[in-house]
Amino acid sequence: MAQSGTVAGANPSPGYSYYVFTLLFLLYMFDYIDRLIIVSLFPFIKAEWGISDASCGLLVSAVYWSILLFTFPVSILIDRWSRKKTIGIMALLWSLATAACALGRNFGQLFAARTAIGIGEAGYAAGGTAMISALFPLEKRARVLGLWNASIPLGGALGIALGGIIAEHFGWRHALGLVAVPGMFVALLFFRVRDYKTIELVTTRGTGSDTAVRARMRPGEIAAHFMRSKSLIFTNFGFAASVFVTTSMMSWLPSYFQRTEGIPMSQAGTKSGLIMFLAILGAPRRECSYPR
């Protein structure tokens, strides 16, 4: 596999690079707020609809199954079309889907809206990483990516904490509606940033010197190239295992505190959010250690 083409608009000013980075950071934060706020709303939804813990778990897994199914095709779209437009559309989709959750009148409607959140979030990590890679030189890239990844525990902590507080005072529907609005605003701002020409992935087809041609890689060829790299495979399996553990824990920690300690969800969510927030200490340090 080889890379073809040049990045249009390379070497942007530091001020502009950090402006786009700020938007990307905020979008990733709202991504995880919208993704995890539901876990602090379980008791309120169960009280209204009488659903089981298993059904509550499906509301979390709906997002992750959608991400699993749509990450690869959406990532190809990001590379083949426009990074800024795809990121903006994805952010609008997951924000609107979060707002739609507030309008759900039964479990099926809420489950469908949660599935749409996952579709919107499926390619954001890939698109955001590509944007940051184009905006910052190699010697700064790991540190910037580390700061960007710190938005994950920050967003998760805010979503879990705010969900219980807002739901306790105004209802669970208001919690979902309120957190959806900021993401829409930032998504609209992102449509105004400069895009750049993607670096095209190409391969050589044919064996003879006369018949060999350079051509753009097909989706199947990209997947095959990925599967040939043991480092990529084990890195992704390790990341998946980490997500499996942390998501399972954070999905039920607020309910655990509420049930075992007998505290209201506003306190249980805040307590769980503080635990999630501790991960922010590790994200930048982890990425900064990579260049060494």
Q: Which residues contact residue 176 at a Cβ distance below 8 angstroms, ignoring those fewer than 6 apart?
A: 37, 38, 41, 98, 99, 101, 102
Q: Which of 229, 219, 225, 226 is nearest to 79 (CA)?
A: 219
pLDDT the model gives residue 5: 36
d(CA 30, CA 159): 8
For residues 57 and 138, which has the higher predicted lDDT (pLDDT)?
57
pLDDT the model gives residue 8: 46
Query: pLDDT for 205-237, tens place per residue?
Result: 655 555 555 666 676 777 777 777 788 788 878
Query: pLDDT for 123-176, tens place per residue?
Result: 899 899 989 988 998 888 889 998 999 999 999 999 999 999 999 999 999 999
Residue 13 CA, chain-centre distance (Å), reads 27
Rg (CA), the chain: 21
Q: How confident is the model at residue 203 (pLDDT cuts 50, 70, 90)?
A: low
Q: Are 253 and 270 in contact (CB under 8 A)?
A: no
**pLDDT above 70 as % of the chain:** 85
Indicate the helix (H) or strand (E) that contains 3.
strand 2-4
pLDDT the model gives residue 54: 96
Question: First and final CA of the chain: distance in angstroms?
Answer: 27
279 assigned to some structural domain: yes
Residue showing tokens 């599967």: 227
Q: What is the domain-level CATH number for residue 112?
A: 1.20.1250.20
292 assigned to some structural domain: no
The answer to whether residue 201 scores a pLDDT higher than 80 is: no
Q: How confident is the model at residue 204 (pLDDT cuts 50, 70, 90)?
A: low
The answer to whether residue 121 scores a pLDDT higher than 60 is: yes
pLDDT the model gives residue 6: 34
d(CA 223, CA 244): 23
For residues 77 and 34, which has the higher predicted lDDT (pLDDT)?
34
Query: pLDDT for 251-280, tens place per residue?
Result: 999 999 999 999 999 999 999 999 988 877
Domains held by the chain: number: 1
Among 4-13, 75-84, 200-209, 210-219, whose mean pLDDT is lowest? 4-13
d(CA 124, CA 71): 9
166 assigned to some structural domain: yes
Q: Which residues pair with 200 in a beta bridge?
A: 4
64 assigned to some structural domain: yes
pTM (predicted TM-score): 0.85
203 assigned to some structural domain: yes
Residue showing tokens 């960007």: 148
The answer to whether residue 92 scores a pLDDT higher than 80 is: yes
Range of the domain at 23: 2-287
